[in-house]
Structure 1
Amino acid sequence: MKTKYIIYTCLLAVTFSTACKKNLDLTQKGVYNTDNYFRNETDAVNTISGIYNLLEQEDYISHAETTFDVASDDYWRSGDHAEDEAIENLTYNASNAQVNFSWTYKYETVNRSTNAIINIPKITNITPAIKDRSMGEAYFFRAFGYWRLMVIYGDVPIISEEDYAKSNFNIPKSSIEEVRKQIEADLLKAIDLLPESYGAADFGRVSKGTALGLLTKLYMYWEKLPEAITTGEKLINNSKYALAATYSENFTRANKNSTELLMSVQGLQNVMSNDYTVYYIPRAWGGYGFSQPLKGLADEFELNDPRKAATLLSVGDKIDLGDGKGDTEFTSDLSSTGYSFRKYAVFFPAGSSEGNGVDHNYAVPLMRSSDIYLLVAEAKIRTQGAGAGDALINQVRRRASVLLPPVVNAGMKELIHERRVELAGEGERHQDLMRWDKKNLVDIAAIYNLAKSKAPVDQNKTVTFIRPKHYYYPIPQVEIDKSNGVLKQNPNY
């Protein structure tokens, strides 16, 4: 890293989320660094757009983040990536490619966010509202970068503004407690600065609700349950973050202005693809067919729960691929497990004037309000006893279907079930099980042994969970080597 960052800019087309797509032909307008770039409001907005642009990268959010959930009892990794197989079976080492990609992109988020935090306050030719919003976005994304680093690696280096000023980037790890405090501080600033909602031109930007949601998740992982309840209820009680009318609409192009989507990757046809779609749909339909659901997940859904049909494609199901051929049947040769994730299989409707085939004009959810409803329900159950979370769990269930019976006096068993079916395929299961295992609420090793015994032999799912080693992944060996001994490897690796 250098004190003066070279900044590349491009014209934004249609929405901010189209920024700097790698396959666009760009005309270089000049070479900028931090001394000559931050001049006006446009520069501030483009700087923040450069942070959002990272969400497009398949080795950052979409495929890479999904890979960190494939060890769970919901998935078989599928695909042909040896690094994914190692992560699924917990046989990875510090040289695993996904472990390395994840570290790099998350620190790039921290880097770009801190650059904005240092330099945007120096701009005078900017409206106060845009300045506040931009600073709030920068604080949120720095928190988000550290959040994912903390969840995946545990103790990680914190690079302060003072370190940037001194070009001091070879930093030893901070404790997980210190990292949590850093995330909390940034999120509290983001909550103060971000607007509650946006107009149509800015759908997809992070909001006050996004920061409240991530802070609630932080407090749950921190085991600060009363704080999680207080923070989460601020979101739940705000109609701007209400649950969508139906579950399935969270996974259609109509969701771009949904109140439930707290954070998302906004796609744009022929400009920015949704790699979730590319990786999840079968190869015969133009995807890669990775991360295939296991039968155990399909069996978890209750009778009359429409979330199953909205989440999974099962053999015999029909779907319109938008190719003008009408409904296509999901057949057994399309998946080794017999299932695929329907929630990411979005295609143009038949006869659409916009195109055919895979539809990228929708927003892939990264955080939804229902996640926060269920976290607050969990915190209430664990602090106040069985039944304390019933009202929130039932709100989520009623939204799914009035045919689902309400829970009564629900405890952790019911809460764990509800999170599994509501958030299936959204990257929560493995981390949920690990944080519950740490508090002896589940036995993750037994759960994974059962999943292994039920998986077909040809899927080669041999995961064995070892405590405490597998609670966190190793620091990439390449980063340890570059640090000349400053960075220390995580225990047991």
Structure 2
Amino acid sequence: MKKIIYSFLFLTAALLCGCSDLLDRESLTTMEDTNYWRSESDLRSYANHFYEIFFPGYGLEWDRDWAYSYSTGFCDDFVSEGTQSYFTNKVPTSLGSKSESRGCSTEYYGPTWGFGVIRSLNIFIDRLNTVARNNVDDETFRHWMGVAKFLKGFQYADLVSVYGDVPYFANVVEDDDPDTMYKDRDARGAVMDSVYVLFNYALDNMRDDDGALFLNKYIAAGYISRFMLNEGTWQKYHGTERGGGDANRAKKYLELAVKAGDMVINSGKWSFDSDYKSLFASFDLSSNKEVLFYRHYDAALNITHAIGSYNGGSESETGVNLSFIKAFNCSDGKPYTISEVEGANDFSLENLAKTRDPRFDACFYNKPDVNSSSLIYHYKYASKEALQYYEATHNVIKPTWYSDFNENDAPLMRLGEIVLNWLEAKEELALSYGGTAVTQTDLDRSINAIRKRPLDEDAKSRGIQQTKALDINAIPEDPARDSDVPALLWEIRRERRMELFNEGNRIKDLRRWHKLNYMDYNRDADNYLGPWIDFSKEIVMPNNDTNEYLDKLVGVLTVQKKDGSRVTYDGSNASEMVGFYVVRNATNREPFSDRNYLAPIGQQQIDDYSQRGYTLTQTYGW
């Protein structure tokens, strides 16, 4: 299959617009309007430059904006040494971009304030209507209009998830229309109603298939299931002060999430046919039946990335905490507290790999790693072969797992997320909006289909087992479940946490569920701990300098016993250093409040408006 490397697909310089303000961009030149929009090739050329903007995957070389692992660590899964990363606690001087970009705010895993991308998409829509419509057939016109409207909805849905109310620009803003250019923010609900219309058009008009690595209606449906689930649950769990609390909107958004999921699931085009690790560490995802959309890398074309260097090893400032580890189901499909699996209460890394859902083994090294803050190395985005480099057991090191020479493909939209979006939306509709109750068939098409993924040969050789299917008549009753979350919904959320680990979804989930309180680490002491470690037996340093390593930790290295007591290394009690690793100097993040559910706008952006006689309202609570 021919690979289309969209990293290099850009418009010519003549098609790129300058920018002197958030929306004050130079108009398309006469030459552009004369020479473009005359054929499908022109439309594709214009659309191609959006791929790098919206779908960066693992990034390019050392570029880390939006890259998994590096930009996705702000959530309750991770712990760092010292004070935890904090929420914004004051209005920033500036939080916007005047360029056509989607700069990533890691606190929200969403875009920074800016509308250059929206202007480019409005130009696309305008030229399709006014020029291209007369030059291409109806099917071609509708497909590319669907692409443009999908991307516009994508950007607005992302902006709304970060800021709530945002100015909605229905059309291209002309230079002589400052009243529109500097309009205040529109209500969240009104913006998302417009997005709802855009998304429906995309689903109705985009092609089933437009070639490898190009957008089609199924890929769009995957993203639409994500965005509509996000907004539907936001409307349910948040009040009117943050643009929520509208039951009618919640219902219609969740119904669209289900419709989009149905479109993918019922097509029969995708299935769970490969092991979990292969989704993230393969050099070619073209034949993977679970992946709808991916970014391809090729060292021969100098298109590589550095995701392997941002796994949880020597370059990582964080590691997963014990609270996250305890959230993983055992292989019988139950949380460890009620599991019947032998060794369910043993939190040593080697045992965790054997007794937990196989995704644990696919994500984490089964030996302690002293370079990780919590001594557990997460390598979801590198192959098991990469551990040979990490352990330095081979003299020959393959460059594909070193520095920024990585060339494993990046999955962008996959069936695993779509079926979980679909299932959660169905359950929320059933709980609150008169929807049909989730059935065993629904579970079998989603959670249980995920759990039946094939295991890789290494996992099989070590006795790792697939997780038992979830039975609608025997939903586990987790003693740790929040009282306001029904049992099935709790298990759906747990499945998301396992399946979508370190992909940027967790912090967005906490926000939409109104569960940002999970980020207060003092509510659960396990947030400051790592796995169970026997230091005298398990810590083996390169060049046999383990004793030298331990000597540096006298008075610092601490473990916590199961009864809660702690032992600190004094230089002579190495045999007593057995217990949950206490992350060094880990303390809670600075206080935060409900206003942190949405981001403030930078003061400079507000001043830009006021200097021109207009008002840009600050985010609620700021």
Alignment-derived partner of residue 213 in structure 1? 222
Cα offset for 1:244? 4.2
- The letter for the 1-side match of 2:451 is R
Cα offset for 1:425? 0.5
Segment of structure 1 superposing worse, 453-462 or 411-420: 453-462
The verdict on how the C-alpha distance between 1:258 and 1:305 changes in structure 2, with shifts beyond 3 A counting, is same
Alignment-derived partner of residue 497 in structure 2? 420
Cα offset for 1:405? 1.2
3-state SS in 2 of match to 1:342: coil
Following superposition of structure 1 onto structure 2, how do residues 68-467 of structure 1 map, counting pairs within 5 Å? 69-76=72-79, 88-95=85-92, 101-102=103-104, 103-104=111-112, 107-121=115-129, 122-123=131-132, 126=136, 131-164=141-174, 167=177, 168-199=180-211, 202-203=212-213, 205-220=214-229, 221-222=231-232, 223-224=250-251, 225-251=254-280, 252-269=282-299, 271-274=302-305, 276-280=307-311, 282-283=313-314, 288-289=315-316, 292-301=319-328, 302=330, 303-315=355-367, 331-333=369-371, 335-345=372-382, 356-358=400-402, 360-384=406-430, 388=439, 389-391=442-444, 392-399=446-453, 403-409=466-472, 410=475, 411-437=488-514, 444=518, 449-450=523-524, 452-454=527-529, 456=582, 458=584, 460=586, 462-463=588-589, 466-467=592-593
> 1:130 & 1:16 partners in 2: Cα distance?
22
Alignment-derived partner of residue 82 in structure 1? none
Cα offset for 1:104? 4.7
> 2:608 & 2:92 partners in 1: Cα distance?
13
> What is the alpha-carbon root mean square deviation over aligned residues?
3.9
Cα offset for 1:114? 2.0
> 1:257 & 1:133 partners in 2: Cα distance?
25
Alignment-derived partner of residue 609 in structure 2? 483
The verdict on how the C-alpha distance between 1:217 and 1:29 changes in structure 2, with shifts beyond 3 A counting, is closer
Runs of 5+ unmatched residues, structure 2: 18-27, 98-102, 105-110, 233-249, 331-354, 389-393, 432-436, 456-464, 476-487, 531-581
> 1:164 & 1:250 partners in 2: Cα distance?
45
3-state SS in 2 of match to 1:89: coil
Q: Count matched residues.
A: 444
Cα offset for 1:45? 1.8
The verdict on how the C-alpha distance between 1:467 and 1:228 changes in structure 2, with shifts beyond 3 A counting, is farther
TM-score relative to the length of structure 1: 0.76
Check whether the contact 1:244–1:250 (CA below 8 A) recurs between aligned residues: no
The verdict on how the C-alpha distance between 1:177 and 1:126 changes in structure 2, with shifts beyond 3 A counting, is same
TM-score relative to the length of structure 2: 0.62
Q: Provide the identity percentage.
A: 20
Check whether the contact 1:94–1:477 (CA below 8 A) recurs between aligned residues: yes
Check whether the contact 2:206–2:216 (CA below 8 A) recurs between aligned residues: yes
The verdict on how the C-alpha distance between 1:141 and 1:417 changes in structure 2, with shifts beyond 3 A counting, is same
- The letter for the 1-side match of 2:30 is D
- The letter for the 2-side match of 1:217 is R
3-state SS in 1 of match to 2:419: helix
Q: Deviations over 1:239-284 (max 9, x none)?
A: 224334322221122324534334444434353344644543645x
Q: Deviations over 1:294-344 (max 9, x none)?
A: 34333333324221122233535xxxxxxxxxxxxxx322x2222343222
Runs of 5+ unmatched residues, structure 1: 1-12, 80-84, 317-330
Alignment-derived partner of residue 18 in structure 1? 7
The verdict on how the C-alpha distance between 1:36 and 1:370 changes in structure 2, with shifts beyond 3 A counting, is same
Check whether the contact 1:277–1:346 (CA below 8 A) recurs between aligned residues: no
> 1:233 & 1:259 partners in 2: Cα distance?
17
> 2:192 & 2:617 partners in 1: Cα distance?
19
> 1:105 & 1:49 partners in 2: Cα distance?
23
3-state SS in 1 of match to 2:514: helix
> 2:93 & 2:360 partners in 1: Cα distance?
33
Cα offset for 1:173? 0.8
Q: Does 1:49 align with 2:80?
A: no
The verdict on how the C-alpha distance between 1:31 and 1:49 changes in structure 2, with shifts beyond 3 A counting, is closer
Alignment-derived partner of residue 35 in structure 1? 30
- The letter for the 2-side match of 1:173 is R
> 1:212 & 1:19 partners in 2: Cα distance?
26
Q: Deviations over 1:207-233 (max 9, x none)?
A: 212222222223322233344323322
- The letter for the 1-side match of 2:443 is D
Segment of structure 1 superposing worse, 131-140 or 111-120: 131-140
> 1:30 & 1:211 partners in 2: Cα distance?
25
Cα offset for 1:419? 0.7
Check whether the contact 2:94–2:603 (CA below 8 A) recurs between aligned residues: no
- The letter for the 1-side match of 2:125 is I
> 2:522 & 2:453 partners in 1: Cα distance?
30
3-state SS in 2 of match to 1:365: strand
Check whether the contact 1:448–1:465 (CA below 8 A) recurs between aligned residues: no
Larger radius of gyration: 2
Check whether the contact 2:89–2:592 (CA below 8 A) recurs between aligned residues: no
The verdict on how the C-alpha distance between 1:155 and 1:43 changes in structure 2, with shifts beyond 3 A counting, is same
The verdict on how the C-alpha distance between 1:430 and 1:447 changes in structure 2, with shifts beyond 3 A counting, is farther
The verdict on how the C-alpha distance between 1:193 and 1:107 changes in structure 2, with shifts beyond 3 A counting, is same
The verdict on how the C-alpha distance between 1:445 and 1:60 changes in structure 2, with shifts beyond 3 A counting, is closer
